[in-house]
Amino acid sequence: MSDTTGDESGRLPPEARGAAPARNRLRGRRVLVVGAGTRPSSEPDAPVGNGRAISLLAAREGAVVACADMSAEAAGVTAELIGAEGGRAQPIEADVSDPEQCRRVVADAVDAMGGLDGLVLNVGIALGRGLDGTGVEEWDTTLDVNLRAHFLVCAAAVPVMPAGSSIVLMSSIAGIKPGSRMPAYDVSKAGLIGLTRTIGLDTARSGIRVNVVLPGLIDTPLGREAGRGRPSRARTPVPLGRQGTAWEIAYATVFLLSDEASYVTGQSLVVDGGLTALR
């Protein structure tokens, strides 16, 4: 695994490179990360993906982590990386396009860790392109994975989560600004923002916080693949002058999981280098 960011000048801070010292912000937490793997890449300098970076950082900050992914191999690699750093992790294979597995992944995580007080949902697919190029099956499959699964996993998790717990959903700036040309994807990501508010209101009296992170252009294996299909992606004029890193998404997520965000709920945290606010 590489922490390569494409910034050859070395001016990125340690946090953006995944090289900052741990601060024990999640000590004692039991965190389930759904979508904890990273897409395989043949590139020698392949960056880490968002889910793996979140899992690793949560473990570095003291959490026990259940690493769930539809790929048992990908989940296992993330868990092994955590173990190699002295952390504690349990891999779980789960395909959240299946409603039953949405419930089972929570039960498996609770069994493995003895409880659950942190949940991150980092799963998403993109099918179809344009209105004419998006069929009913592509629409339904995208919404099933990108929106229904989040609802079902949260519905299973909330009853077992104690006060002080935190849920973080992973959306995208595509949910607030058009541009992907993929209707099902954009709608599902917008739906996560509404789902965050709905679940956040429902769980507020129980002391469970719910927030959503909206990444912009992030240098991940999936992001690079998207760039090959849409070369203009790499030329997008981001105000901060570069793509983000998965570690920057991980730090935003860990902040929302931690007690540093104890008075933050129902919010959308945009991590996009100023792309949506300053252009």
Per-residue pLDDT at 170: 98
Quote the tokens at residue 90.
């349990």
| Predicted local distance difference test score (pLDDT) of residue 3 | 42
Report if residue 190 sits inside a domain.
Answer: yes
Helix axes 50-60 and 72-84, enclosed angle (nearest 10): 30
Q: Which two tokens stand for residue 124?
A: 């998403």
pLDDT in tens, 51-101: 999 999 999 999 999 999 999 999 999 999 999 999 999 999 999 999 999
**Element (H or E) spanning 227, and its range?**
helix 221-229
pLDDT given at position 232: 65
Confirm if 276 and 216 have CB atoms less than 8 A apart.
Answer: yes
Is 258 contained in some domain? yes
Rounded to the nearest integer, the mean pLDDT of the chain is 93
| 1 located within any domain | no
Domains held by the chain: number: 1
Question: Exposed, middle or buried by CB within 10 Å (0-12, 13-18, 19+), for 232?
Answer: exposed
E-assigned strand segments in the chain: 30-34, 64-69, 89-93, 118-121, 166-170, 209-215, 218-219, 244-245, 268-271
Q: Is 185 a catalytic residue?
A: yes
Asked if the structure places residue 9 within a domain, the reply is no
Alpha carbon distances (Å) from 178 to 130, 139, 186 = 12, 17, 7
Task: Say which DSSP state 16 is in.
Answer: G
165 falls in which pLDDT band (50, 70, 90)?
Answer: very high
Question: Rg for the chain (alpha carbons), in Å?
Answer: 17
Of 100-109, 122-131, 220-229, 239-248, minimum mean pLDDT range: 220-229
Is the residue at 178 inside a domain? Answer: yes
* pLDDT band for position 202 (cuts 50, 70, 90): very high
pLDDT at 211: 98
What's the pLDDT tens digit per position in 9-26? 468 999 999 999 999 999
Structure tokens that stand for 108 in this block: 């498996």
Whether the Cβ atoms of residue 126 and residue 186 lie closer than 8 Å to each other: no
| Residue 2 maps to a domain | no
Torsion-angle region of 40 (φ positive above 0: left; ψ -120 to 50: alpha; else: beta): beta
Closest C-alpha to 212, from 230, 196, 223, 228:
196
The single residue of 61, 109, 185, 245 carrying the catalytic annotation is 185
Domain that includes residue 190, residue range: 24-271
Q: How confident is the model at residue 8 (pLDDT cuts 50, 70, 90)?
A: very low
The answer to whether 69 touches 44, Cβ cutoff 8 Å, is: no
d(CA 29, CA 208): 14
CA–CA separation, 248 and 16 (whole Å):
5
Confirm whether 13 is domain-assigned.
no
Integer angstrom CA distances of residue 33 from 30, 187, 231 = 10, 23, 31
- Counting every residue written for the chain, the total comes to 279
266 vs 252: CA distance, rounded Å: 15
CATH number assigned to the domain comprising residue 222: 3.40.50.720
Residue 4 lies in a domain: no
